[in-house]
Chain A
Amino acid sequence: MERSVVFAGFGGQGVLLAGKILARAAMEEGLEVTWLPSYGPEMRGGTANCTVVIADEPIGSPIVDRPDVLLAMNGPSLDRFEPRVAPGGTVIVNRSLIERPLRRTDVKGVYLQANDLARELGEPRAANMVALGAVVRALGVVPLEAVGQAIGEELGAKGRERLVEVNRAALERGHQKSGAPPSPPHFSRPG
């Protein structure tokens, strides 16, 4: 088994952190994992991405030419990475910020209002955890509870219990929403 996911978005949307939490959960499950960030001269508002590979044997290339899952948190990320997704893979589209459907027909689209769902939970910054919930479902190799646990380990300094709690709630919300039967998304722009 080897599964890979690309997390991509604006700098500041928390895609590196979401990938790191997934990587930590995979490690705690006894799996092999690599977390490879884009580490160029990035800044808030620029683009950021990371690749996470999870396997049950030692991992060769941390660079993935055909990711199984793509999380696109914004339009430029979808434009850049959609062509690379493995046929039969899954693309999670952040409907809150992306105004077009998938161009490809050989991958599965999961449309998720990550920012809106996070806002409903009272923590707009947790959109990345909403999206991570959908990634966990699409990947299917790391249990949701392990990822919730990893959120605690990653964010859980003393006095941050509320932060951990709301991020776990966001994770569960995204997981749950991404499992609902897809309603055909309506887009203002064609693909």
Chain B
Amino acid sequence: MTERQLMTGNEAMAEAAIRAGCRTYFGYPITPQNEILEYMAAHLPAAGGAFVQAESEVAAINMCYGASAAGVRTMTSSSSPGISLKLEGISYLAGADLPCVIVNVMRGGPGLGNIAPAQGDYFQATKGGGHGDYRVIVLAPSTVQEAAELVGLAFDLSDRYRVPAMILADGMLGQMMEPVALPPHRDPATLPPKPWALTGAKGREPNYVASFALDPKDLRELNLRRHERYREIAAREVRWEEVATEDAHVLLVAYGTMGRIAKTVVRRARGEGLKVGLLRPITLWPFPYAPIRELAARVRAVLTVELSAGQMWEDVRLAVEGRCPTPFYGEMGGVVPTPDEVLAEVKRLA
């Protein structure tokens, strides 16, 4: 077995970013993700990178824009209210086709809300958030191990498609500790080249990076090409996990922290002879519409469970398209249901 370390989700995501070749980090403090900043401040300079605690979230995301344009792997992190502030910059990154990894350790909202775990930023993450016709790749880890792995994947996908990628975690995952086998270190010099980057035009034609095209025909063309890439992502990069779905009568759909709690629900339900399964989306965009649709034809109900009023629920219903009932169970404001509370809801359906 690879040697495991005991780390919080926040620390593991920060270390995984350094190991993925991230060499610039820009952030502004907010609970419950401050350990990412702390970790980066302590360890990124030693890896030859640059850490800057910016004067605001807006400054931090725009520093990412600059670093990314220069071809460097770059990351920022925040929690819900701070991500709202970053949205203008995320839209600009999307408009300039710049890779960047953004970590959102979600907390209770709206507004200042509180610092407890929540999933109320699903719409913001998966439906744009900022202005304009753009998409962000959204990855939702449910364990500290998976958080570390998905950070590496986020950098790779973001570079490959030149689309910003977001890790959508929550306060519980950020604060809890689990053993994690960290991915190996990657030398930034060995990463795929970025011929579009602004690295100095000596001996070549200058590159141009901007999220600006005054002529409508030009902007339409840029958007069409970008959406071509979005279609490619939707066709190739959908990821999900299934648990005990083969003979399930009730299918749970849950992601992140709620996804792992749902695993315990499935285990307890099976222990009582109830045929319950789980589909846990790992990519929230692109969303696993096809596998949910396929399972919906075989089950009696698809129960969406979220730490929100029902945001992913809309995508689940788009996937099911009326093939079976699609009830919803959710908690808000930082309240996290126990496995037994969800199980009681499952029993009403099974």
Contact = CB atoms under 8 A, between A and B. Distances in A.
A24 interface: yes
Interface stretch (B121-129, B131-139, B257-265, B296-304): B257-265
A65 B339 contact: yes
A24 B263 contact: no
Given A24-B6, A65-B340, A36 B260 contact: no
B175 A32 contact: no
A47 B262 CA distance: 29
Contacts of A61: 260-261, 263-265, 338-339
Given A30-B1, A65-B338, A65-B340, A60 B176 contact: no
Interface residues of A, number: 22
A155 interface: no
A61 B116 CA distance: 16
A143 interface: no
Interface in A18-49: 20, 23-24, 27, 30, 32-37, 39-41
Interface in A40-78: 40-41, 58-65
Task: Label chain A's interface by main secondary structure.
Answer: loop
B32 interface: yes
A27 B178 CA distance: 8
B264 A27 contact: no
A30 B265 CA distance: 25
A19 to B, nearest CB: 9
A32 B267 CA distance: 17
A61 B339 CA distance: 7
A32 B180 CA distance: 10
Nearest to B4: A27
- Give the interface residue-count category, chain B: 20 to 34
A23 B172 CA distance: 17
B83 interface: no
A65 B264 CA distance: 11
A18 to B, nearest CB: 13
Given A27-B6, A34-B177, A60 B32 contact: no
Given A20-B6, A39-B32, A40-B115, A63 B177 contact: no
A63 B338 contact: yes
B263 A60 contact: yes
Interface string B172-191: 10011111000000000000
Contact of A32 (B116, B179, B263, B265): B179
Contacts of A30: 1
Contacts of B115: 39-41
A142 B115 CA distance: 33
Contact of A33 (B179, B262, B263, B341): B179
Nearest to B337: A63
Contact of B260 (A40, A62, A64, A65): A62
B310 interface: no
A65 to B, nearest CB: 4
A46 to B, nearest CB: 15
Contacts of A65: 338-341
Contact of A60 (B177, B178, B339, B340): B339
A40 B116 contact: yes
Given A36-B175, A39-B171, A63-B336, A23 B6 contact: yes
- Among B116, B263, B264, B340, max chain A CB count under 10 A is at B264
- Among B143, B262, B340, max chain A CB count under 10 A is at B143
Contact of A62 (B116, B176, B262, B341): B176
Interface in B34-80: none
A127 B236 CA distance: 55
Contacts of B116: 40
Nearest to B116: A40
A137 to B, nearest CB: 22
Minimum-distance CB pairs A-B, first 9: A60-B264, A60-B263, A65-B338, A61-B264, A35-B177, A61-B261, A27-B179, A36-B176, A39-B175
Interface of A: 20, 23-24, 27, 30, 32-37, 39-41, 58-65
30 contacts: A20-B6, A20-B177, A23-B177, A27-B4, A27-B6, A30-B1, A34-B178, A35-B176, A35-B177, A35-B178, A37-B175, A39-B32, A58-B263, A59-B260, A60-B260, A60-B339, A61-B260, A61-B263, A61-B265, A61-B339, A62-B172, A62-B260, A63-B172, A63-B261, A63-B338, A63-B339, A64-B338, A65-B338, A65-B339, A65-B340
Given A58-B143, A61-B260, A63-B338, 10 more contacts: A23-B6, A32-B178, A37-B176, A39-B32, A40-B115, A60-B263, A61-B264, A63-B261, A65-B338, A65-B341
